Amino acid sequence: MSASVDHFSPDKNKLNKIAEDILKPVGFSKSFMLWMGFLTMVFLICGYAYGIQLEKGLIVTGMRDFVSWGMYIANFVFFVAVSLVGMLISAVLGLIGYKWIKPIARIAEIVAVGFAMVAGLVIVVDMGRPDRVHHVFLYGRVQSPILWDVTVITTYMTISILLYFLPLIPDLAIAKGRMNNAPKWLVNLYEILSLKWNHSSKQFKILMKSMRILLILVVPTAFGIHTVTSWLFAATSRSGWDSTIFGPYFLTGAFVAGTAAVVILMFFYRNSFKLEKYLTDDHFDKMGKLLVLTALVYLYFNINEYLVPALKMKRVDALHLHALFAGHHAFLFWATQLGGLIIPMILMMFKPFRKPGVLTFLAVCVLIGAWFKRYIIVIPTMEHPNLPIQGVPEAFMVYSPTVIEVAVTLMTFVMSLMIITILSKVFPIIPIWEMAEEASHEGDAEASKTESLPAE
């Protein structure tokens, strides 16, 4: 959103049309009920799996003495990564002044909120004694990256919620008077959350100032959240994690994953919510270019992260690198690097591959690749401790996730999807007032052009 507006006087007709388009999908439709019913069912089944884990402990997972971080931690890193896109789109691109991100910014914030909220829970499912989670605050040590992680995730989540909510306030006020068929509770909710917004320039001034502050604050916080997550690994001396570039490596990877997630959601909203006019081919084209850019930067960090140790082949690193390049994890490694990064990136460099459908397909490849990439970062290192493993059961040496682990991981995705679904059905997903303002400006620009003609 642009930070320059202090007065809101849109073209009435255009506003009405935009509000009508964007508010149409709001509300609990039949398909929403079906979809939520499906999600709830999956959630209950997976919740049952978590119940088993709660009762019997982490022994029901594939984690043992040596591989004590498994799919859950990989999944946690993925969730944190995806949530970072809110910062990239709203803050980095927004502060630079790109106007095309306006209809996408709220989608990016929904992704940020949905994934950041669940990221904390993903950590809790990795705990053997979740009933002691408050001990982190009681006995947490400020020297430990784990406490920093808890702190910074909470902070980022709060800022993301605010960044989602603040630009929503004028929309809620606009929507209030137009929700004729909406249930009473929704109207009441809008009434409360719109905070007596009346489009006065005083309110706009406060809103703009707050947004500007938040957009600046979210940049270091987002950098902090994923850098600290990377330090959970890089603060140890284990091969594969003992790296000085882990912070930027994680950050750039996060932008790739998050951008892909936003593209997928954009495609869904465009088709299901009939928003082709607002999420245009041009938006997909630009998001495709953004994905290429982030993928290129990430590829650069990948080359550094793997090539430099591979050239040196220190003895402790060699075991780990061989497992990735040609050993036990080779398939997954090359599949994520090629199928999840390099090939989609090269394809997206060409315009036909940035069309909505194709781009979404490639984004799905990238997102799946991104998830498995986290798996590749976490597990192989765990399988090669610095001291040799001797005389332990086979299950201790090689990790493979159990059905329960997969189910619980699926549960976290379902939770995230539920949050995203509810947010996108309860509130408009495209900023009405910003679009209306934009449209009015276009009108003004045209008008001023015609006006200025005689003077030439």
Which positions touch another protein (CB under 8 A)?
Answer: 8, 10, 15, 139-143, 147-148, 151, 155, 158-159, 162, 166, 169, 173-174, 177, 195-200, 202-203, 206-207, 209-210, 213-214, 217, 221, 224
Which CB sits closer to another protein, 233 or 371? 233
Q: Which two tokens stand for residue 435?
A: 């679009």
The vertex-47 CA angle with 46 and 52, nearest 5°, equals 95
In whole angstroms, how close is the CB of 198 to another protein at the nearest point?
5
In whole angstroms, how close is the CB of 180 to another protein at the nearest point?
15
Residue 91 DSSP class: I
Query: Which string of b and e fits 145-154 if b means at least 16 CB within 10 Å?
Result: bbbbbbbbbe
Which CB sits closer to another protein, 31 or 154? 154
**441 burial type by CB count under 10 A (0-12 exposed, 13-18 middle, 19+ buried):** middle
Residue 59 DSSP class: G
In whole angstroms, how close is the CB of 265 to another protein at the nearest point?
26
In whole angstroms, how close is the CB of 80 to another protein at the nearest point?
17
**439 burial type by CB count under 10 A (0-12 exposed, 13-18 middle, 19+ buried):** middle
The vertex-369 CA angle with 344 and 242, nearest 5°, equals 115
Q: Which residue has the tokens 């088709």?
A: 271
Which CB sits closer to another protein, 206 or 403? 206
Which CB sits closer to another protein, 236 or 271? 236
3-state helix, strand, coil in the chain (%, to 5): 75, 0, 25
In whole angstroms, how close is the CB of 191 to another protein at the nearest point?
11
In whole angstroms, how close is the CB of 151 to another protein at the nearest point?
6
In whole angstroms, how close is the CB of 374 to another protein at the nearest point?
26
Which CB sits closer to another protein, 175 or 266? 175
Helices marked H in 313-431 — which ranges?
315-325, 330-334, 343-348, 356-383, 394-397, 403-426
Q: Determine the Cα–Cα distance for residues 331 and 313; give it in Å rounded to an integer.
A: 21
Q: Residue 411 in 3-state DSSP? A: helix
Which CB sits closer to another protein, 10 or 103? 10
Which CB sits closer to another protein, 134 or 141? 141
Which CB sits closer to another protein, 18 or 417? 18
In whole angstroms, how close is the CB of 348 to another protein at the nearest point?
35
